[in-house]
Amino acid sequence: MQKRNDESGDQQEPYGEFARFDEITQNIVKLCNEGAHVMGVLAQRSRQDEGAYSVASEISEATKTLGEVAKQWVSDPARLAEAQRELFQSYGTLWARTVRRMMGDPVEPVIQPDPGDNRFRDPDWSENELYDFWKQAYLLTARWAEALTRETEGIDEQTRHKALFHLNQILTAISPSNFPFTNPEVVRTTLASRADNLVQGMHQLAEDLERSKDILRISQTDLDAFEVGENLAVTPGKVIYQNDIMQLIQYSPATEQVYERPLLIVPPWINKFYILDLVPKKSLIKWAVEQGYTVFVISWVNPDGRLALKGFEDYMHEGVLEALEVVERQLSLHYVNAMGYCVGGTLLSATLAYMAARGDDRISSATFLTAQVDFTQAGDLLVFVDEGQLAELNAMMDAQGYLDGSRMAAVFNMLRPRDLIWPYVVNNYLLGKKPLPFDLLYWNSDSTRMPAANHAFYLREFYQHNKLAKGEMSLSGVPLDLKKIRIPVYHLAAEQDHIAPAKSVFIGSKLFGGPVRFVLAGSGHIAGVINPPEKHKYQFWSAEPADSFEAWRKAAKETQGSWWPNWSEWLSERSGVKVPARDPSAGPYKPLEDAPGSYVRVRV
């Protein structure tokens, strides 16, 4: 067969253009077939995507809340006209500068993305006049809409907060980076692959839909790259006790001598405990064991409808207090140090108040990691706890006895849609790439269910009514007063925390009656906590107590690296003398199975 030369001199097969066109045609047919399959799955699931925290529910909430904002602006047409004039004026400036740039004149951009906005990192967003125009037009519109909402008169602050939250969801979704024809990387990839990326993306969307339950779970990592007990949660230890709601793990010592007082960790029941025991290089549990602490960890059950009536008091009595009793008997001692992470810290604080009211002094110090006890400044999660949404949520939980983990995962993802939703939509479905293996995101996808009674109590009594901070909460008939907690406290917040905002954590730390060391870690709710010293990442700030978060922040000293050594120094001073290391198999509670146990392996 004869070959021909193209303009560059390279030999090409004849009819190469037709071959490429044929490939594109075949991929379009495949795309249509995959799309039909996806539409079929969506049609079957349409009724399931209802109830609290679903797409339909959030659209309804957004429409209602943003409607309140729109109503105020429509009632003042002169002010609305002025706001619209400012927007159109900025569009005119952008268009004029774009025309000048296309004619070869150097021009300054009208608006720039915020530092760290990775949506527009591709060079074409700046170098190509068309993509740069779309980018700037979007940014002008988004910042105008945000300013308009912030300046709306005649609405209360709660409505304004909700409106800004829902507006952020919409503005993030309509970014030109999220659409195949306005994202330069997607356009290049589509042309280079003859649209095979879109075929692969549609196939991956179909797989995610089939793997999901009632709400789409976008794959954020390679789910086949990790397995609990194999390459995650592998710190050696034994399950020495279990009941209906928890297993208690005692970890094997890594040193010949250990501190006398052990450490009992209370993780959140909303997530699995192995966030504290990821791969060995990131494991806080492994690191603590290597520092000479005898570590015990509660591993909460992944409940089903049979545990629907297990409430907050049960998690205190059968969880924290029962674990404390087992630790005492296992080691034949009285005093124990405790740590609570996130809502595990909220549970621990309520338990400490209960113990203080009853004169129980067995916990001699407490560490709280990004844990709230006051919820007046609890951030965007407050958007989800008004009366209407709680009533809808409770009705759904009453019907099945629990809240499915996918719904709470959807909420947490909505708190950071720019980081946790849309980058994966673009990567997986538009570029057709598989997500990379990442242990933290595997854990994030390994969600748990929550018993109806416990979750309803937590949202209503803490988030909605803030009763613990107000001194209005009672458990098992015992009034709780945080000021009666007079033991030493190490309280960690994270600078960029979107779940337990640093200011909220600081306000709560002021409610305890004893000495509190407040420390602020760099990064967010997870990365700020899981920051091993060997990584040399981020930083932390520390200072003497202050009346306000702003005053504390101004006086705080910055230290580069992990907060872990700072905490260990504090804890070691409260952990007693060194004693021979304790074998988990040598106590009165004989091992039931190896760590990490069976409760943590149950997936939803």
Residues that are catalytic:
342
Residue 368: name the closest of 402, 336, 343, 331 by CA. Answer: 343
| Whole-angstrom distance, CA of residue 283 vs CA of residue 66 | 43
Across 251-272, b (16+ Cβ under 10 Å) vs e yields: bbbbeeebbebbbbbbbbbbbb
> At a CB cut-off of 8 Å and minimum separation 6, what does 235 contact?
251, 277, 280, 283, 285, 286, 289, 595
Question: 306, 401 in Cβ contact below 8 A?
Answer: yes
| Whole-angstrom distance, CA of residue 247 vs CA of residue 270 | 15
| Cis bond upstream, residue 596 (ω within 30) | yes
Question: 366, 487 in Cβ contact below 8 A?
Answer: yes
Residues written for the chain: 604
Question: 333, 261 in Cβ contact below 8 A?
Answer: yes
Half-sphere CA count of 595, side-chain side, radius 13 A? 26
Residue 275: C-alpha distances to residues 75, 235, 403, 543 (Å): 50, 12, 21, 28
What six digits make up the tokens of 70? 């729109």
What six digits make up the tokens of 602? 């149950």
Query: In the block, which residue shows the tokens 């337990």?
Result: 500
| Whole-angstrom distance, CA of residue 40 vs CA of residue 48 | 14
What six digits make up the tokens of 256? 């010949």
Question: 497, 526 in Cβ contact below 8 A?
Answer: no
What count of other Cβ atoms lies within 10 Å of the Cβ of residue 308?
17
DSSP 8-state symbol, 274:
G
Q: What are phi and psi of 448, to 5 degrees?
A: -125, 155
Cα dihedral 234, 238, 240, 242 sign: positive
